[in-house]
Each structure stands twice: as structure tokens, then as C-alpha cells.
Amino acid sequence: MIKKIAKWKRRIPNGNYPLCYLCGKPITDVNDLSQDHLTPVSRGGHTVPSNIVPAHKRCNHKKGDMTYEEWVIYQERNRQRY
């Protein structure tokens, strides 16, 4: 996992930005990069590479302990409100 995040961090200075898995936008600031658990640990997710994705800190924070499926539904609802 640490290796995975280090790999994403290395890409940023080269302008090869990892995409935030939660909003789909590039993460251009290394300080804004976090690793999100698709299925949160609190919901039974494991800290394994298949469950870890790059995400903006703010997106990760917003997602909180939602599963990825719940996040997709949440975003869909938010979109409809505007």
C-alpha cells in the first residue's frame, strides 16, 4: 500500500497526475493525495491493493465511511439536486 501511494506521488512532479477515483479529476498537489479504501476498513474492507485507490483528501473526507457503491449513489443524488 505504501508502495502504491509512493508510486502515485512520484507521478505528480512529472505532471502525470493520478486521477481521483472519487471525482475523476486529476490530483495535481501531492499534499492533496490520499489513499481511499473503496470498502472502508470500518465496513469490513481490507488494506489490500485492490481496495486502495487514489483520491483527493477532500473527496476522501466527504466519502467518509461510505462504500464505493454508496458514494456513487450519493453523487448521483447530489447531481440531481442542482
Chain residues in the site for Zn ion (CB under 5 A): 20, 22-23, 56, 59
Dihedrals phi, psi of 56, to nearest 5 degrees:
-60, 150
Do residues 17 and 28 make contact, with C-beta atoms less than 8 angstroms apart?
A: yes
Question: From CA 63, how far away is CA 23, in angstroms rounded?
Answer: 11
C-beta closer to Zn ion: residue 40 or 44? 40
CB of 20 to Zn ion, least distance (A): 3
Q: Is the Cβ–Cβ distance between 48 and 32 less than 8 Å?
A: no
Nearer to Zn ion, 44 or 52 (CB): 52
Give 31 or 44: the residue with its C-beta nearer to Zn ion.
31
CB of 75: closest distance to Zn ion in angstroms? 11
